[in-house]
Amino acid sequence: MTIPSGQRRTWSTNWRREPGAGRPSRNTSVRVPTSHDHHRRPALRGPDLPAIVEDLGRRRINYDEGQAPPHVTHGWHQDRWTLELGYEQPGEPEPEGLVHDAGELVNGYEFTDPAVLRAVYRYPADVVGRDMLLQGRFANFRFLMGVRITSELDELREGPNGPERVVGWAYQTLDGHLEQGKLVYEVAKELETGRVEFRIDAYSRQSEIRNPLYRVGFAVFGRRTQLRFYRAALGRLRDRLPNLPDTAEPGPDGLVRVPTGAPPERASWAEIHVVHPGV
């Protein structure tokens, strides 16, 4: 199949949530213990980001992978979201083509909506093993939570329409996160048709949160905010493809802040920063 030259770099607005995700039952897992530390205290002033990022290296993944999907599905949300990005010529991804550009956005974590989620990490850092501090934003609260990139993808796999080249990476949640789980971000190209797709595959559940305010708040608003993040991520990646942002550069403190182009953080007396709220 040959794609006319005028169609090789097109983007589609079609996105969908895959069926099959049901409501999880009550979390019955055994909580992973963590030690008390001063980073957990809520603060009305801006947090010490370099110190918090440095601290992530000692934190563990906050759930037992043997008790998570695909081994155990009871009690877990399982989500799959997809977005058709457009077409390249059939065959392996083109240099500087659609797969390359989408992969750059995914690898840079440039597809998040800064009104919902931002991230910082230490520079330089390899992809696998990189600890990222996520800032979830809800009302006047800023929840700072750690994740670790545990795998990088660049593989040939059999898909529903034939062989696919898949690139991307996955992260897992660390001690102190409001959730337990894993997110996989993929850009996949069907080699026979040239069709390119962005995918989010995830499983998650609420952590056993000690603070009753955060526990109840997450139970009420957490899933809604999570689905909002997925929808926004698909749309934002689509919208940023035609004009790729500049590569994120570290600040004077050695931290990279993404997504680039987001309005700068301005400390407000009304903001409450909560570090590692999930313990």
What backbone phi and psi angles, to 5 degrees, belong to 255?
Answer: -105, 140
For residue 212, pLDDT beyond 80? yes
* Residue 205 three-state SS: strand
Residue 202: predicted pLDDT: 98
Domain ranges of the chain: 49-275
**What does the alpha-carbon distance between residue 234 and residue 1 come to, in Å, rounded to a whole number?**
27
User: Tokens at residue 73, please?
Assistant: 């599905």
Distances (CA, A) of 140 to 44, 177, 192: 10, 18, 49
Q: Which residues contact 227 (CB under 8 A, 6 or more apart)?
A: none
Decide if pLDDT at 145 tops 80. Answer: yes
pLDDT for residue 259:
95
CB atoms within 10 A of CB 65: 12
The whole-model pTM stands at: 0.83
Residues 158-198 pLDDT 10s: 999 999 999 999 999 999 999 999 999 999 999 999 999 99
Q: Is 269 helix (H, G, I), strand (E, B) or coil?
A: coil
- Please tell me the predicted confidence (pLDDT) of residue 36: 41
Q: How confident is the model at residue 268 (pLDDT cuts 50, 70, 90)?
A: low
Higher pLDDT, 114 or 26: 114
pLDDT at 37: 47
What does the DSSP 8-state code read for residue 278? T
- Determine the Cα–Cα distance for residues 258 and 246; give it in Å rounded to an integer: 11
Mean pLDDT of the chain: 86
Show the tokens assigned to 190.
């069907």
Which fold does the domain 49-275 belong to in CATH?
Answer: Alpha-D-Glucose-1,6-Bisphosphate; Chain A, domain 4 (3.30.530)
Token pair in block for residue 229: 């993040």
* pLDDT at residue 210 is higher than 80: yes
Residue 183 CA to residue 186 CA, distance in Å, equals 10
Q: pLDDT band for position 8 (50/70/90)?
A: very low
Closest CA to 173 of 199, 197, 207, 198: 207
Question: Hey, what are 1's tokens?
Answer: 């199949």
